[in-house]
Structure 1
């Protein structure tokens, strides 16, 4: 296998991990704008352990997942009890704070970043994907997976059924952050150098687009979205200066024409053109009006 093909497969695999991690949070109807921060936490945590302490990468990945999960649980506990708007604001601000802290932290190179990491292999990347996919297959068939879907479709009805909404959503957010942290660790040791700029708003938008393009009803839809959007800038290099604009236009078109994504069932009835989170918020407003 040529180094170029291996590099492409590594990049696609890491992006699939990012999409699968983000899908766990989105499966509860909670859209975060700060997952690039969890990617950064995982990347820098693993890089510190491998470069400064000589840890093997697989063990550093586990620690990166744990650190990211703790950060996700803390942010989730603060934000997930609020409305979608405040969740978006808090997660976005958290991502900016992480970016600023890393930029000012001399121990990890500050704005210049860290360099010298290595060790990401196809076996590690696709082995991680296999573990996450098996976990998600089991999750979506479990009572917890059904609870995720219930919260996504109608949070008020799920609460009335006795589900502990906040606790379940925080757990999903922590799991989501853990997988994203693993992807960050792998990305850092594949890129060989990382800087805070790599985990900015552009990366956060890409992670969201992976799920939006593929669809949030099924996790393989998110994986498909990641594959498509990973290959576009590689094989359509003439779009190198424009692909973020293209992604933005694609996002708008999807929201209008196919809000359920490439893979997903369209809702029946008059609300079929709107995603589930919009339908749920509309139902909540109608209940408040009637009350």
Structure 2
């Protein structure tokens, strides 16, 4: 009987610790309190953040890329995730969200109802974003067309259906520290912000460990394609010998120095970076030339 009571006590204690460690944590309303969004500045955040690449309907072109109806499939080794409707529709989309709601989703990975969001949504990068940029993005997204498209359920199996486990995952991998610590010029600092935070380039170009966390020791050194075909390239100086001008031009036009053209998912990215200023594209290029070289992609 005593052994049973002891085991019961340990089980209850373990459950309480698990519940505490995995609780959804938010940035707090005070982080976003008093911020007034500017839609014009928010448009830059929108394109830098690549929102249309995932949240526009698959195959959308032209003005339809501004309808954030969702539906894009995001394959991973943990299952297939589907980008949700983030249009201003108050029922199907996020039209009822406050700036704090959007901020906590983007920077803490927590939905307004308190549930953990899957890191297929790159909040591990957006956590480095400035709260004012979140407010500006919120203002811009309110100007976009509404869509009543229903969200598609993610295709994941047990135990990944237990969202509470993501609390433990976040304690390991949700970190707002910069990878490039020595951004010594304004241009480098801007490039770092665009690449590491808003642009979330590392989410695709950096290999992951078995738990899905980014291997920052091989930052931007290339990674397996989660769709299962080929590899996402190494874009450090160890794998990309383009000049800063070459990189900036590619981000504007999609043309490589060899007059090839961006294809696949990168073509989507270029549609976003083409909307940025020449100065921002030059900042991204400067950052990519400054990061430590990874001579061979981690396998």
TM-score under structure 2 normalisation? Answer: 0.29
TM-score under structure 1 normalisation? Answer: 0.29
* Greater Cα radius of gyration, structure 1 or 2: 2
By percentage of residues, which structure has more helix? 1
